[in-house]
């Protein structure tokens, strides 16, 4: 029996591993192919596909990941978790999803640019309906020294700019009453039109949604109004937070609201697009946001509220002094009339 070669236990293990790997490859591809053939998959079927494929992800080859990414890029109801996992792959794999998939939100796209830089950004730039803010960011990444990004007020023209917003940037702070009147007018402009105008559905949404949507309009006054509501500060303070040359104050405001770093970055880049000309600037923002303790951010907001209260007290005292002065003048005038 000397002609029979011996097979060790380690050889059997390698054969078993190759067999299992082959099964994983076939199952990974077949399950996605079957899913893509469904006209309108249910939530249960989407969840089942994720439960089946995500545990296999690290066992399958690059070629299988590329195949699945291409297949899901054409799928209208692609499972979001699997798409996001594939989008984190090198651009050679992720490109079809970055270019076409509806499962990737604006937040996902900006986070991917922040983590992967230009390769992913260039693929994302090929999307047919790309948010103008993200497009500006990508152009800045491509040619940071030559591209001048638009200021936040002109990122998009989705809403008309009200008269109070123009006055807000003149450098002459309005009185508390005028600022609050402007804020009320802005709130009314954000109400839905038509028969439901008396029900402000927009302002009934979670704070993050209001901040995101107003930031992406490019209208500074809309965003300042939403920020004032979220932090429970007055409009003048919210205006000063976003009126600074850097995002430091806004970073504290967003951290106080306990937003995730991806959500905070989406808002920051919409309000301060010129602050993020390259991936290093994005990473710096994310690092600063992670290191900023929430309690410290809350202390900052409390200080803003204290200053607001102090201004209100000073304003009331000034109004009272003015009334007393007018009353004194009236008394003197009456006395002089009696004397005459």
Tens digit of pLDDT at every position of the chain (340 positions): 444 444 444 443 443 444 555 788 899 999 999 999 988 999 999 999 999 999 999 999 999 999 999 999 989 899 999 999 999 999 999 999 999 999 998 888 888 887 888 899 999 999 998 888 788 778 877 765 433 444 444 333 333 334 343 343 444 444 455 555 555 555 554 444 443 333 333 444 588 888 988 888 778 888 988 999 899 888 889 999 998 889 999 999 999 999 988 889 889 988 998 888 887 888 889 889 999 999 999 999 999 888 877 776 766 655 555 545 555 555 454 455 445 5
User: Would you give the distance in Å from CA 12 to the centre of its chain?
Assistant: 52
State the Cα–Cα distance between residues 340 and 335, nearest whole angstrom: 9
State the Cα–Cα distance between residues 151 and 80, nearest whole angstrom: 32
CB atoms within 10 A of CB 259: 20
> Which residues lie closer than 8 Å to 240 by C-beta, 6 or more apart?
249
Quick check: 228 and 190 in contact, CB under 8 A?
no
Quick check: 255 and 292 in contact, CB under 8 A?
yes
Q: How far apart are the first and last CA of the chain?
A: 143
State the Cα–Cα distance between residues 282 and 297, nearest whole angstrom: 20
pTM of the model: 0.48
> Angle between the 220-231 and 235-242 helix axes, to the nearest 10 degrees?
120
């Amino acid at each position: 029996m000397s002609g029979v070669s011996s097979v060790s236990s380690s050889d059997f293990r390698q054969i078993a591993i190759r067999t299992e790997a082959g099964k994983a490859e076939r199952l990974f591809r077949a399950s996605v192919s079957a899913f893509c053939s469904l006209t309108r998959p249910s939530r249960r079927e989407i969840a089942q596909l994720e439960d089946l494929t995500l545990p296999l992800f690290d066992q399958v080859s690059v070629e299988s990941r590329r195949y699945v990414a291409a297949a899901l890029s054409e799928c209208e109801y692609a499972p979001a978790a699997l798409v996001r996992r594939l989008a984190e792959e090198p651009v050679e794999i992720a490109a079809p999803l970055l270019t076409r998939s509806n499962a990737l939100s604006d937040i996902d796209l900006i986070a991917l640019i922040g983590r992967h830089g230009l390769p992913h950004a260039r693929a994302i730039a090929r999307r047919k309906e790309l948010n103008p803010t993200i497009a500006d960011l990508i152009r800045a990444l491509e040619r940071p020294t030559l591209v001048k990004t638009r200021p936040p007020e002109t990122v998009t023209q989705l809403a008309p700019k009200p008269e109070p917003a123009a006055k807000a940037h003149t450098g002459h702070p309005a009185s508390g009453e005028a600022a609050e009147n402007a804020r009320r007018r802005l709130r009314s402009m954000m109400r839905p039109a038509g028969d439901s105008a008396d029900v402000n559905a927009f302002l009934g949404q979670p704070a993050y949604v209001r901040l995101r949507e107003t930031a992406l309009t490019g209208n500074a006054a809309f965003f300042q109004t939403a920020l004032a509501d979220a932090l429970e500060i007055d409009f003048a303070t919210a205006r000063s937070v976003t009126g600074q040359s850097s995002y430091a104050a806004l970073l504290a405001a967003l951290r106080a609201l306990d937003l995730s770093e991806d959500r905070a970055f989406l808002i920051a880049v919409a309000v301060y697009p010129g602050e993020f000309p390259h991936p290093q600037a994005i990473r710096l923002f994310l690092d600063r946001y992670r290191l900023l303790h929430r309690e410290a951010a809350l202390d900052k907001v409390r200080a803003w509220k204290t200053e607001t209260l102090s201004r209100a007290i000073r304003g009331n005292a000034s109004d009272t002094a003015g009334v007393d002065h007018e009353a004194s003048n009236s008394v003197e005038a009456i006395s002089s009339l009696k004397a005459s």
